Chain A
Amino acid sequence: MTDIPTPTPTETAAVAARPARRSGLRQSLPSMSGKLLAGLILIGAIVLFAVVGPWITQDPRSSGNDAMLPPQPGHWLGTTSLGYDVLAQLAEGARGSLIVGVTAGVVAIVLALLFGVVAGYLRGWTDEFLSLVTGIMLVIPGLPLMIVVASYLQVRSLWVVALILGVTAFAGPAVVLRSQARSLRVRDYVSAARVAGEKTPRIIGVEVLPNLLPLLASQFLFAIVLAILGEAGLSYLGLGPNGSITWGTMLNEAQGGGALTRGAWWWFVPPGLMIALFGTGLSLVNFAIDEIVNPKLRLAPAAAKSVREARKAGKDKLGRRPATAGVTTERTDVPEADGPATDQKERVDA
């Protein structure tokens, strides 16, 4: 899918570049930032809506209502041209979109692990082969591939679409993971494990993977957003799942039914907004992961802020020092943090 925004390389690069720490996540979790909280609330609310919504709204495929009703009591988001209740569709669509997103995300990450981490760690012919597959997947236009796969399956269910989206989306994360795995491979503790005679699967599982965890998490969240956007794009082109309701198929139907020109904003706007809100929620969590992985992102702004406040209070000359010191202190707390020089290089590597 050339049209679906690919995971922004900068962002993933930024994450990939963090110095690897063996138990990074646990150590820096305590401070729950506002962004993380907001993100979790957004995601939680939408997931709750997807789980509970279908039970308390009416049948999303009941055409018994009047068509094209504007929002009103009983139909809080109005009805479609077939008389379907938009709120009910939105709830059912949330379920569908989340299933597509999470399934595709899992598929993409699992494949990315195989094609990225294994390739990056093992090298040699295995690497050559796996990289070749990744390379081809990266280069082949995804859309026709999806159409071919989809048209071979008589009924394009939600799961099939999710699977297709996952399979066609793994190449990006695989590249990122591979380069990170390559750089981890030459770390001292990994070399030590190898020298100690540990088996490869164990090294990958115990030494390499935990260090990739934050990166994996952020790639996973990205893959979910991309899959949901991808499903919407496919649906717009008329290739979405059939028989299921998702936010994408809702948009497709609203578009086909001329919702915008007929002034039925209540039909066209909510699904798009839901996608955006869910994407925002995941991105906010990603922010938090970034800050956990790279404490600078969290501490530096705070430090800069305190500098400014100090400056305001007239302690300009003194103010600058403690701020930098604060960062340095935090860094020494982090075990195995690499120096700035190598850090910079790895960033390029990623």
Chain B
Amino acid sequence: MKFYARRIAFYAVTLWAAISLNFFIPRLLPGDPFTILMAKLQRSGDIPAGVENSIRLLLGATQDQSLWEQYVTYWGNLLRGDLGISVTNFPTPVTELIGDALPWTLGLVGTATILSFVLGIGLGALAGWKRGTWVDSLVPSTTMLQSLPYFWVALVLIFAFSVSLQWFPIIGAYDVFHFNGPEWSWAFVGSVLYHAFLPAVTIVISSVGGWLLGMRNMMVSTLSEDYVTTAEAKGLRPRRVFTTYAMRNAALPSLAGFGVSLGFVVAGSLVMEQVFTYPGVGKLMITAVRNNDYALMQGVFLVITLAVLAALFLMDLIYGFLDPRTRHND
């Protein structure tokens, strides 16, 4: 029990430090949101007289709190579940913005991550099983895919399939030229799937190589273990040896990595969402950082922090359970 208590204490401290950093990091950024807003408004021509006045009023409202007072208010609001209001998307509450973005990110990045994992594990197992054949020699080429810059892949895909061939849409999570917002209809669901295809392919292309490689290597090692040899010697069908003996054991370490990746799914995929105008959390984060939107930044950081910590914690629990030594050594 002491082990778990220590781990929980560790996570509590990490959480506190991370949340505090989330508070201070945005405030260390140069510029304030209104200066940036003015600069942006100037970028698109005249600023209406009324708006200039509004900015003055908004500036007046925020200037009198000390950093410490703000920090205390921040914790107070946080504990009440109030993440504040976004300046760039005024007057939408941050919780609402994140609430809107999260399903898209979880849906797309989550699915793509799972897909990439399953595909990588499957192909990796196959490559390991067929070790020494031509299938195995294909493995190194997957490292090439993994080393391509993410946005480069996305831009090339869009250029080829969306602009030149016009097979796939260019922007959005659904047909924004047709639907007036999400709705429950088969047409809409179809549109969502259609729009998710290229972004998902981008994610899978850039991440499948890692899983495949790791799995293949584990598979090769596992296949030369004595218990596998024994199983083969007993005359078990190769198929059974492959699935029950080799693959299951070889996939174990990959699962650990998979857990962490799932934690990071919440962060979305900054570049992918930017390139495809996909309404996810990563996109919110870029918007927030670029506009010094403190509340939004803090909210997004908080959600990501919590998700990653939760994933790590879960992994810790599982490991403590699977490997008793972890507990005893402490």
List the interface of chain A (C-beta within 8 A of B): 1-6, 8-11, 13-14, 17, 35, 38, 128, 131-132, 135-136, 138-141, 143-145, 147-148, 151-152, 182, 186, 225, 229, 232-233, 236-237, 248, 251, 255, 260-261, 268, 272, 275-280, 282-284, 287, 290, 294, 296-297, 299-305, 308, 320, 324, 327, 340, 343-345, 347-350
Contact = CB atoms under 8 A, between A and B. Distances in A.
17 contacts: A4-B150, A5-B210, A6-B260, A9-B261, A13-B254, A14-B214, A141-B267, A143-B285, A144-B25, A148-B29, A251-B149, A255-B151, A275-B147, A276-B145, A300-B221, A348-B252, A348-B322
Nearest to B210: A8
Contact of A17 (B17, B226, B253, B304): B253
Ordered nearest first, which 10 A-B pairs have the shortest CB separation? Answer: A279-B147, A10-B214, A9-B257, A8-B210, A305-B132, A283-B143, A301-B132, A2-B267, A301-B131, A272-B152
A343 B308 CA distance: 28
Given A144-B29, A260-B159, A349-B326, 7 more contacts: A9-B253, A13-B214, A13-B254, A13-B257, A136-B14, A138-B308, A139-B308
B227 interface: yes
**At the interface, is chain A mostly helix, strand, loop or mixed?**
helix
B111 interface: no
Contacts of B312: 135, 138-139
A144 B289 contact: yes
Contacts of A143: 270, 285, 289
B207 interface: yes
A144 B298 CA distance: 11
Contacts of A248: 149
Contacts of B221: 14, 17, 294, 296-297, 300
A8 B214 contact: yes
Contacts of B223: 300
B249 A344 contact: yes
A14 B308 contact: no
A348 B319 contact: yes
Interface in B206-258: 206-207, 210-211, 213-215, 217-218, 220-221, 223-227, 229, 232, 249, 252-254, 256-258
A132 B10 contact: yes
Contacts of B151: 232-233, 236, 251, 255
Interface residues of B, number: 84
Contact of B146 (A35, A186, A279): A279
A265 B285 CA distance: 31
A9 B256 contact: yes
B201 interface: no
Contact of B147 (A280, A299, A308, A349): A280
A305 B131 CA distance: 8
B64 interface: no
B28 interface: yes
A144 B150 contact: no
Contacts of B22: 140
Given A225-B147, A275-B148, A297-B217, A132 B271 contact: no
B211 A10 contact: yes
Interface in B5-39: 10, 13-14, 17-18, 21-22, 25-26, 28-30
Contact of B309 (A139, A232, A301): A139
A8 B146 CA distance: 10
B144 interface: yes
A294 B128 CA distance: 14
B257 A255 contact: no
B40 to A, nearest CB: 15
Nearest to B323: A348
A14 B206 contact: no
B271 A237 contact: yes
Nearest to B301: A141
Nearest to B139: A287
B29 to A, nearest CB: 6
A138 B25 CA distance: 16
A309 to B, nearest CB: 9
Given A9-B260, A141-B301, A297-B220, A14 B152 contact: no
B270 to A, nearest CB: 4
| Residue from B163, B253, B258 having most chain A Cβ neighbours under 10 A | B253
Interface in B288-326: 289, 297, 300-301, 304-305, 308-309, 312, 319, 322-323, 325-326
B286 interface: yes
A141 B304 contact: yes
B196 interface: no
A139 B306 CA distance: 8
B45 interface: no
B48 interface: no
B63 interface: no
B319 A144 contact: no
A38 to B, nearest CB: 8
A9 B117 CA distance: 12
A59 to B, nearest CB: 26
Contacts of B305: 139-141
Given A10-B211, A10-B215, A136-B14, A144 B149 contact: no
A237 B10 CA distance: 34
A88 B271 CA distance: 28
Contacts of A10: 210-211, 213-215, 218, 253-254, 256-257
Nearest to A330: B224
Nearest to A298: B220
Contacts of B155: 255, 260, 268
Contact of B256 (A13, A151, A233): A13
B102 interface: no
